[in-house]
Structure 1
């Protein structure tokens, strides 16, 4: 039984040796039929954006990959797969003021006031010089156009307060058309006036006769 076991083990080892020998022979045959192939690079990728947005001293980078690896003893790829370079994205730009706008209206309608105007700037970039000065400017202004008071014409006289005889009154008025403004002269005089009036022409004849002869009228009344 032991002899049989030893025999089987030896048989297995022998078969393994045969398999290994056959594999080595086939590998040597493949090596004899393989042509050397050199390594090949893909094209470089595009440069990356500069590491700064303005000024100088920035960095850009790009990379490439192997398209075909070396085979059968061919030469390997030479050179780096990654490289960098410096970049200068732009020059500095100084601040610039725009033109002044028109002066604003005076802050008062009469007398001494102030007026302002403004301007807009284009800001400096990339370390450029900033603008000096203010975006606003103020000055004094004077509106001296005085306006004097103006009265309208007198209206027509009103009707007499009595319809017959004397002792009545009439009135008429006028109004302020324009008021005094900015130190102008105020209106002088009244806006209403009165006068005496009579309406004898509209009285009955007997009344007119009695007024001319008051003594007779008294006697007749008695």
Structure 2
């Protein structure tokens, strides 16, 4: 419903500005007759590294829309995959020549 759509819309807006991890997406205007509590704590970042999104909400009556905010969060750079290292075994014994006379391999 609309409650979840607002949160997802806010997350998309926050994620659209990855260069500004602390930008807060403004909350929707509270509908008339709805009284909300204080803002809750910011939730966990959606990314374990790089840029993600955090959300928080304000408690209110169940008949009112959920009021949420979202902001970008930066968890530091993601580790880069290390290139594969090539390791060679010891040289093997020479094999027999492919030709009995002249050039060969």
Superposition TM-score tier, normalisation by shorter sequence: 0.3 to 0.5
State which structure, 1 or 2, has the greater radius of gyration over its C-alpha atoms: 1
Higher relative contact order (CA 8 A, sep 6+): 2
Name the one with the larger helix percent.
Answer: 1
